[in-house]
Amino acid sequence: MSGGSLSLIRKGYSLLRGMLPLSGKASLTKLVYVFSGKPFVKDDKISIEDKFPNKERGGAIFSADFEMAWAFRFTKEATDPYEFALKKARQERANLPLILKKFEEHGIPVTWATVGHLFLESCQENTHGWMKKMPHFTNRFWQFTAGDWFDHDPYSNFREAPEWYAPDLIKAIRDSRVKHEFATHTFSHIDFSDKNCPVEVADDEIKASLEAINSFGLPGPVSICFPSGSWGNVPVLKKYGITIYRRKLKEVQLAYPYYDDLGLLVTLSSDAFDRSYPSWSSCDYQKRYMKTIDKAIKTNTIAHFVFHPSMDPWMINEVLPKVLGYAAAMRSQGKLWIGTMGEISRHIRSKKSST
Ligand SMILES: [Zn+2]
Ligand SMILES: [Zn+2]
């Protein structure tokens, strides 16, 4: 099929979707997963021998955007974004031990893309005073048109304001029986795009993240997941030793990580543990995610699953265990590699230097 007719079909599909109520959208999405080629695959020419550490046929990465109240304070979704942010943070606190347990049960590591501020035990009014100011902007999800970027910071500590700091939760992740990885999700959950984030602000955000992680006694991150679907300021990432980032594209969802123009690796997000359609049963969701794993194995790519720890607990209890169990079973059959963003980046770079 030509590119032109594909784009026409996509346009028609978007138009149809836009006219449907939520339940109609859910059924349509289900149909797309059953009958279309979704998730779409990015081809490559890399030898299967080199792709995974133990010559597995496909891979899986699970990354979490660990962000607490920082993610939602400018959301357009809620009439009171501040209250909404606190609510989400409390849900995240309640969910986190449960999530850790599920991943421990299957020995599966998570790449925790963590907002840098969460590493702090406390802060004061002038603690972030050295950082360049974020200019006002709006994007698809947020509206930051008044005040200062740090206006919501309580300048307090994790006991008094547990929605804004999380050293206790980070310790729980660090001390888990599974060796997880900490990626950065910027310091204050900023829109990192070239359009909205000046390079000086991006630089300070990564610098502050590194300082926060290092003063916690953890090594600097080699991986990043951008907040709010943004992407940009890649030279800054390179400067601070980040080697791989996650990106979401409309056209393809399954890919083996590939190099961008600056030599950083890109891992595409394949699907999210997100209960967008309440009418879907747990079985519908399980099938969808397992299909993605099967397809990664078949096409020698990586299924990269994204989740927010503040997600609906139903997803954690009813869907996640089945998907993790399936991934672990594929791993024990030698078909599936499961690891973190940093691990695959190191593996790919080691192959590059040996060739
Ligand atoms: Zn602070
Ligand atoms: Zn986020």
pLDDT digits (tens, 9 = 90+) for 56-67: 999 999 999 999
Closest ligand to Cα 128: 1
What pLDDT is stored for residue 35 in this prediction? 62
Distance 126 CA to ligand 1 centre (A): 9
Q: 338 vs 32, 96, 106, 243, CA distance in Å? A: 27, 21, 11, 19
Q: Residue range 13-20: average pLDDT? A: 64
Alpha-helical regions (H) of the chain:
3-19, 22-35, 48-51, 81-105, 167-174, 199-215, 234-239, 282-299, 313-314, 320-332, 341-354
What pLDDT is stored for residue 1 in this prediction? 47
Please, which pLDDT band fits residue 334 given cuts at 50, 70 and 90?
very high
What pLDDT is stored for residue 2 in this prediction? 47
Identify the CA nearest to 227 among candidates 354, 92, 116, 314. 116
Closest ligand to Cα 67: 2
Structure tokens at 256: 């083996």
CATH superfamily of 44-354: Glycoside hydrolase/deacetylase (3.20.20.370)
Poorest-pLDDT segment among 18-32, 69-83, 332-346? 18-32
- Calculated CA dihedral for residues 212, 218, 223, 227, nearest 10 degrees: -30
| 137-138 vs 143-144, strand pairing mode | antiparallel
What pLDDT is stored for residue 335 in this prediction? 98
Closest ligand to Cα 185: 2
d(CA 47, CA 245): 22
In a 13 Å sphere around the CA of 43, the CA atoms on its Cβ side amount to 1
pTM of the predicted protein model = 0.92
Q: Residue range 88-116: average pLDDT? A: 98
pLDDT tens readout for residues 46-59: 999 999 999 999 99
Residue 28 has pLDDT above 70, yes or no: no
Distance 69 CA to ligand 2 centre (A): 10
Please, which pLDDT band fits residue 149 given cuts at 50, 70 and 90?
very high
Closest ligand to Cα 229: 2
Closest ligand to Cα 154: 1
d(CA 86, CA 316): 20
d(CA 188, CA 206): 10
What residues does each domain of the chain span?
Answer: 1-36, 44-354
Identify the CA nearest to 63 among candidates 280, 312, 346, 302. 302
| Average pLDDT in the chain | 93
Q: Is 219 helix (H, G, I), strand (E, B) or coil?
A: coil
What pLDDT is stored for residue 30 in this prediction? 67
- Angle subtended by helix axes 282-299 and 320-332, to nearest 10: 30
Identify the CA nearest to 203 among candidates 281, 124, 134. 134
Identify the CA nearest to 270 among candidates 249, 298, 286, 245. 249
Distance 213 CA to ligand 1 centre (A): 14
Phi, psi of 261 (to 5 degrees): -60, -25
Q: Longest Cα pair distance anywhere in the chain, in angstroms?
A: 59
Distance 155 CA to ligand 1 centre (A): 5
Closest ligand to Cα 125: 1
Q: 73 vs 88, 185, 224, CA distance in Å? A: 10, 15, 21
Closest ligand to Cα 71: 2
Distance 94 CA to ligand 1 centre (A): 22
What pLDDT is stored for residue 221 in this prediction? 95
Question: What residues flank ion ligand 2 with Cβ within 5 A?
Answer: 65, 67, 71, 227
Contact 166, 68 (CB under 8 A): yes
